[in-house]
Structure 1
Amino acid sequence: MTAEARDLVPEIRRGKIYQDVYEKRSPDRPALGEARLERARAVGELLDFGGSKARDRAFRDGVFLLEIPDELDVSAGDAFARQFYQGPDAPPYGRFRDLASDHFGDPLLGFHQRINQIEQFLLERRFWAATYPPEITALGESLTRLSRQVLRSVLAAVGIPESDWRQATGGCSECAGSYHLTFNHYRPAHEDIGLNSHKDDGYLTILRTTAPGLEVSREEHWETVPTDPDCFIVNFGLSMEILTASSRLPVAAIMHRVARQREDRSSFGHFSSSGCLPGEDEGVYRYVHGSGLERVCGSRELIDENDYEIYAGTDAPDAAGATSRADGRPTGKGAHR
Structure 2
Amino acid sequence: MESTPRTPAPEIRRGQIYRDVYVKRSPDRPALGEARLEKARISSGKLRFMDSSARDRAFSDGVFFLEIPAEVDVSAGDAFAQQFYCGPSAVPYGRFRTIGSDHFDDPLLGFHQRINQIEQFLLERRFWGTDYPPEIAALGEVLTRISQQVLCSVLAHVGISEQDWARATGGCSQSGGSYHLTFNHYRPAQEEIGLSSHKDDGFLTILRTTAPGLEVARGDHWEVVPADPDCFIINFGLAMEILTADSGTPVAAIMHRVSQQQNDRSSYGHFSSSGCLPGEDQGIYRYVQGVGLERICGSRELIDENDYEIYAGTEAPDTPASPLHITTEGGRG
Q: TM-score, normalised by structure 2?
A: 0.96
Matches within 5 A, 1:147-296: 147-296=147-296
- Pairwise CA RMSD: 1.4
1:330 maps to what in 2? 324
2:98 maps to what in 1? 98
Query: Aligned pair count?
Result: 329
Name the aligned partner's letter for residue 333 of structure 1: T
1:34 maps to what in 2? 34
Name the aligned partner's letter for residue 104 of structure 1: F
Aligned-pair identity (%) = 74
* Rounded Cα–Cα distance in structure 2 between residues aligned with 1:50 and 1:331: 45
Query: Could you tell me whether the CA contact under 8 Å between 1:107 and 1:332 is conserved in 2?
Result: no
* Rounded Cα–Cα distance in structure 2 between residues aligned with 1:332 and 1:172: 24
Query: Could you tell me whether the CA contact under 8 Å between 1:5 and 1:245 is conserved in 2?
Result: no
Unaligned runs of 5+ in 1: none
Q: Cα distance, 1:50 vs. partner?
A: 1.0
* Rounded Cα–Cα distance in structure 2 between residues aligned with 1:130 and 1:219: 43
1:80 maps to what in 2? 80
Q: TM-score, normalised by structure 1?
A: 0.95
* Rounded Cα–Cα distance in structure 2 between residues aligned with 1:35 and 1:17: 24
Q: Cα distance, 1:60 vs. partner?
A: 0.2
1:5 maps to what in 2? 6
**Which SS does the other structure have where 1:234 is aligned?**
strand
Q: Cα distance, 1:313 vs. partner?
A: 1.3
**Which SS does the other structure have where 2:6 is aligned?**
helix
Unaligned runs of 5+ in 2: none
* Rounded Cα–Cα distance in structure 1 between residues aligned with 2:117 and 2:49: 34
Query: Could you tell me whether the CA contact under 8 Å between 1:205 and 1:272 is conserved in 2?
Result: yes
Q: Cα distance, 1:332 vs. partner?
A: 5.8
Are 1:89 and 2:89 matched, yes or no?
yes
| Structure-2 change in CA distance of 1:277 and 1:332 (3 Å) | closer
Name the aligned partner's letter for residue 12 of structure 2: I
Q: Cα distance, 1:116 vs. partner?
A: 0.1
Q: Cα distance, 1:6 vs. partner?
A: 4.5
Name the aligned partner's letter for residue 329 of structure 2: A
Name the aligned partner's letter for residue 164 of structure 2: D
Name the aligned partner's letter for residue 84 of structure 2: F
Could you report, residue by residue, the CA deviation over 1:72-93 in whole angstroms, capped at 9, with x for unpaired residues?
Answer: 1000000000000011100111
**Which SS does the other structure have where 1:120 is aligned?**
strand
Query: Could you tell me whether the CA contact under 8 Å between 1:308 and 1:333 is conserved in 2?
Result: no
* Rounded Cα–Cα distance in structure 2 between residues aligned with 1:34 and 1:191: 24
* Rounded Cα–Cα distance in structure 2 between residues aligned with 1:273 and 1:334: 14
**Which SS does the other structure have where 2:309 is aligned?**
helix
Query: Could you tell me whether the CA contact under 8 Å between 2:313 and 2:321 is conserved in 1?
Result: no
Q: Cα distance, 1:316 vs. partner?
A: 2.3
* Rounded Cα–Cα distance in structure 2 between residues aligned with 1:331 and 1:325: 11
